[in-house]
């Protein structure tokens, strides 16, 4: 019997294998002298421009023969900055940088540059006891939706089951979400460091999603704050006070926010003096000065009651911030009506660099008044 051997040869084309990945372009490249080089491999691009919080205006990158664009700037002061590249007119992030700022809308997406100094900053992680970040979902009966809270609990919260804690309700700005104060504001790191240094009391931080009307959806003036305030007062606060060991009274509640959230904190807090003993606004969205008497009629109606009820009313804004004039006008409005408050005027624009510093400044003042 003859035997036949059949030989099958498989021919595999190169296309069956993934193409070799291009070499990674290092960007941003932060040097010890705090000079920073930005790079982009884009042979077909016609123009690339860098914009960022560390620059005045835009700076063009230059292209070499291989198609690599680059620009070196600095030295840059130690901080955490946001920046973008504009490639042939299209604003985008730095594709070489995985550290990205995001939010609830795409309008504020940016790359993140961190330049470290010779010693740790107040918002740098350090070898100290750390609190925990917890995500809690709750059903909002006022808004008819499932929503999330980001919550910071201080170190040791779970050890002593008899201890009750004050609560800071901390609000984000427009286009952000409940995680913004953690990712961009570093609230947990700031408080961990302050606690370890004995400069602040331990308290919980509750960060809700600050939209009563979904982002980018049209709303009548004041409607977003009205709906969000209803959810905060009627749902969020009762939920927190049932789910966590917190002191459920006026003297142990603070309401603070930035930008949109600053306007919300002032509007809600100063019209509910029975609920909050501490109120603060950073770069606050306040609306027109002419509306102040109507918006804060309860507050100015009896300033003696306001002054005896409020433990702290703190307002801050950078002088290069578009919200500065409104903040200063609001401070003058309060002074005219003899409402005690702190107005903090500092250098800076509408950025997290300012807001982190404000949080670091105000946190030691919370919950210390008898």
Q: Which pLDDT value is given to residue 289? A: 85
Q: Roughly how many angstroms between the first and final C-alpha of the chain, as a whole number? A: 106
The domains found in the chain, sorted by start residue, are: 24-115 (2.60.40.10), 132-365 (3.40.50.1820)
Is the peptide bond preceding residue 75 cis, with omega within 30 degrees of 0?
A: yes
pTM: 0.89
Q: How far apart are CA 195 and CA 271, in angstroms?
A: 31
Is the peptide bond preceding residue 165 cis, with omega within 30 degrees of 0?
A: no
For the chain, what is the total number of helices (H) and then of strands (E)?
10, 18
Q: Which pLDDT value is given to residue 3? A: 45
Element housing 134 (H / E): strand 132-140
Report how far Cα 330 is from the mean position of its chain's Cα atoms.
Answer: 23
Residue that wins the pLDDT comparison between 9 and 218: 218
Q: Kindly write down the DSSP assignment for every residue of 231-275, as one continuous string.
A: HIIIIIHHHHHHHS-B--SGGGEEEEEETHHHHHHHHHHHT-TTT
Cα–Cα separations (whole angstroms), residue 147 to 97, 207, 212, 249, 338: 31, 11, 11, 24, 39
Q: How far apart are CA 259 and CA 276, in angstroms?
A: 19
- pLDDT bucket at 222, cuts 50 / 70 / 90: confident
DSSP code of residue 308: H
The answer on pLDDT for 8 being more than 90 is no
Q: How far apart are CA 9 and CA 223, in angstroms?
A: 71
């Amino acid at each position: 019997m003859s035997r036949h051997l059949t030989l099958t040869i498989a021919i595999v084309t190169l296309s069956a294998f993934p193409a070799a990945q291009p070499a990674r372009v290092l960007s941003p490249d932060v040097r010890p002298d705090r000079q920073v080089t930005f790079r982009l491999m884009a042979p077909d691009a016609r123009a690339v421009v860098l914009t960022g919080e560390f620059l005045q205006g835009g700076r063009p990158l230059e292209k070499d023969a291989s198609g690599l664009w680059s620009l070196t700037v600095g030295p840059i002061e130690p901080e955490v900055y946001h920046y973008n590249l504009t490639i042939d007119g299209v604003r985008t992030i730095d594709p070489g940088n995985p550290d990205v700022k995001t939010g609830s809308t795409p309008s504020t997406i940016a790359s993140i540059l961190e330049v470290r100094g010779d010693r740790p900053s107040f918002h740098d992680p350090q070898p100290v006891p750390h609190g925990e970040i917890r995500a809690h979902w709750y059903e909002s009966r006022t808004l008819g939706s499932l929503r999330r809270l980001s919550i910071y609990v201080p170190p040791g919260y779970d050890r002593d089951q008899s201890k009750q804690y004050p609560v800071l309700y901390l609000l984000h700005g427009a286009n952000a979400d409940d995680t913004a104060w953690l990712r961009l504001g570093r609230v947990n790191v700031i408080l961990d460091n302050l606690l370890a240094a004995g400069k602040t009391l331990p308290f919980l931080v509750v960060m809700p999603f600050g939209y009563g009307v979904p982002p980018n959806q049209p709303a009548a003036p004041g409607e977003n704050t009205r709906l969000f305030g209803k959810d905060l007062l009627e749902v969020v606060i009762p939920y927190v006070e049932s789910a966590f060991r917190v002191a459920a009274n006026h003297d142990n509640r603070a309401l603070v926010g930035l930008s949109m959230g600053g306007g919300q904190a002032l509007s809600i807090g100063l019209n509910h003096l029975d609920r909050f003993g501490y109120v603060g606004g950073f770069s606050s969205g306040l609306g027109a000065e002419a509306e102040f008497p109507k918006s804060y009629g309860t507050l100015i109606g009896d300033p003696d009651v306001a002054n005896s009820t409020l433990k702290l009313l703190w307002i801050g804004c950078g002088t290069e911030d578009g919200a500065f004039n409104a903040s200063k006008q609001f401070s003058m409005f309060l002074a005219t009506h003899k409402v005690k408050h702190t107005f903090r005027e500092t250098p800076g624009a509408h950025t997290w660099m300012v807001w982190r510093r404000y949080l670091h400044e105000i946190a030691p003042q919370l919950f210390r008044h008898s």
